[in-house]
Amino acid sequence: MVSYVRTLKNDSVAGKTGGGDNPSTCCPPLRPKRKSPRWHIELEPWASDSHSLEEEARRFLHYITTPQVGHTHLMAASLVSESSSWPKGPWAVCLDSKYSLAQRIHTKHCRVYSLGLGVEDKTLERSLARVGCEVHCFDPSLKQAHLQESDMWLHRLSVDWRDPNPAIPAQRQHGNIKKLATILNDFGHRQVDVLKVDMESAEWKILENLVLEGVLSSVGQLLLEVHLHWAGFEVDGDDPSVVRYWFSLLKELERAHFRLFRYHNDPAKPRLFLHKNFLNASSAYTLGWVNNEWRP
């Protein structure tokens, strides 16, 4: 599988989009410094010589359900709770003192990006906005290009793993889509304390793009819902190869200094893994990752 990526370009300013620390004013692109783009991710060795789906699935499912770091505080919805009062919802951020998010919230320097398709739960985003975070939600269904609502900025943008094809007229494009690196450059944002991704099976290719373009170094915490009932948009290969690709992508997160601090498995979700009931796996898991080397 070959992935094609382009380097960052100097796009025009998006307008009054919440750039910088004042969300009501425009600011020029700051050209975040990132590593040179790569062409492909590194595939992990097969889980077994037989290349079997069962071995690949067991390794992958064990990986996403085994937290790599502990925590003492989480923030979910509108509360801060001790680990003994584990949040029941899928989305939570880590507020341990050894990471910077709690301090960033206290000093009103916290920035949150929420990538979705307009139908996902935004309880966590509203809670973070209430405590002073600058929250940007990307929703392609909006009628206005940019809208401020309930202390959050809403943008009519869909985040993709590629920028629009310049050879296709804008009126024929399916919505306003951009890569996250392009949006960061447009808005003049160097860093995002919390990146929430709920993209209904587009998350694998978006994550691959973030890895290849070195964007993850600009992220403090990554909250990611992964969908396992099928391979995902533009993910090819037989079932064992697909699961190996998924696993390899998450290992790239580990190489980028991210550690899993929480996973959530919604019991109401269908028990489907690549179109079949396999190892009693859920069709979706929500994963929380924290960047061990985050230095905002």
Is the pLDDT score of 67 beyond 80? yes
DSSP 117: -
Q: What is the pTM of this model?
A: 0.82
Please check whether residue 6 lies inside any domain of the structure: no
Nearest alpha-carbon partner for 180 in 205, 201, 200: 205
CATH code, domain with 258:
3.40.50
What's the domain count of the chain?
1
Examine the pLDDT at 29 and tell me if it is beyond 60: no
Q: Looking at residue 175, what is its pLDDT? A: 55
- If one compares 85 and 214, the residue with the highest pLDDT of the two is 214
Residue 15 lies in a domain: no
C-alpha dist (Å) from residue 186 to 68, 106, 173, 209: 34, 27, 19, 17
End-to-end CA distance of the chain: 35
Range of the domain at 140: 53-291
Handedness of CA 144, 150, 151, 152 (dihedral sign): negative
CB 94 within 8 A of CB 290: yes
24 in a structural domain: no
To the nearest 10°, report the CA torsion of 74, 75, 77, 78.
130
In a domain, residue 60? The reply is yes
Per residue in 99-131, pLDDT tens?
999 999 999 999 999 998 766 788 999 999 999
Rg of the chain taking only CA atoms, in angstroms: 19
Residue 13 lies in a domain: no
CA atoms in the 13 A half-sphere facing the CB of 181: 28
Q: What is the pLDDT of residues 213-261, one digit of tens each?
A: 999 999 999 999 999 999 999 999 999 999 999 999 999 999 999 999 9
In a domain, 270, yes or no: yes
Assigned domain for 18 exists: no
Can you tell me which residue has the tokens 């770091």?
Answer: 69
